Amino acid sequence: MKSFINPYFSYWTGLSQSDGSLKKHSCLKNNKSYEQITLEFEVKDKILVEKFQKITNSVFSRNLKIFQRAKGTWTCHIGAKKLLPIFDKLDIDLKDPPNPPRWIKEKNIFFGAYLAGLIDGDGNITVKRKKYPQCAIRIFSGSSQKELKKAIIDILKCSVNISKREKTSYFSLEKRYIKGVYYTSEFVISHKNIDFLMKYVVPMISLKRKKTVLENYIKNGSNRI
């Protein structure tokens, strides 16, 4: 099991906790019903599905296929019933909110890659304040991410702010608005964490639009930190 504990699997874990979900299905075969459990991964960015597919195929010796849904998102799934004991041993919980597994917090290179997976999946990187620019990294979740906050504080040695927010979505078929609650865990780039981010996080981010913002700020704004 330890053979695939590496930065790429750490990234996969963060990505899976962001945009992956365990689904249970009732199936019928030869007049006998049985339960099927799958890990489904679905996002709008094909590059993330390809990354998920590549690492999954390598680690678990599978041959996943990628599909595009009618709504334009990309997805692939893997039978997970035999993987659940492995996830349990590795402390990988796919429930909301995402909690960093114990082994990921043991090495900076693992936690950096894991953080990159969360940023690619459910993260946002933005530069605020025109006069004195400040770069903030936010990770979104449906519940308060207390364990993630603690890990970031312990490992990156910086403060983290968790905010509760509301959003309103309009569903045209039902012709009604639905309010939802979500949480953001936010920390800013500072002299305390810039070296960690440059060494362990930036190289593992897959989405160019997010990676570029972070790289440009570190390159052009680090002298003001």
Domain residues of the chain, as ranges? Answer: 2-224
Residue type, 86: I
- Per residue in 61-81, pLDDT tens? 888 999 999 888 999 999 988
pLDDT value for 174: 45
Question: The tokens of 135 are what?
Answer: 């770069």
Sheet of 20-29, strand order: 20-29, 32-43, 74-79, 67-68
- pLDDT above 90 (res 108): yes
The pLDDT confidence band at residue 225, using thresholds 50, 70 and 90, is low
Residues 82, 76: Cα–Cα separation, whole Å: 17
Fold of 2-224: Endonuclease I-creI (3.10.28)
Q: Strand 74-79 to strand 123-128: parallel, antiparallel, or no bridges (unpaired)? A: unpaired
User: pTM score > 0.75 for this model?
Assistant: yes
How many Cα atoms are found within 13 Å in the side-chain-facing hemisphere of 190?
Answer: 10
Residues 153, 105: Cα–Cα separation, whole Å: 12
**Cα angle 185, 187, 191; round to 5:** 165
Residue whose token pair is 């620019």: 133
The pLDDT confidence band at residue 106, using thresholds 50, 70 and 90, is very high
**Cα angle 20, 169, 25; round to 5:** 35
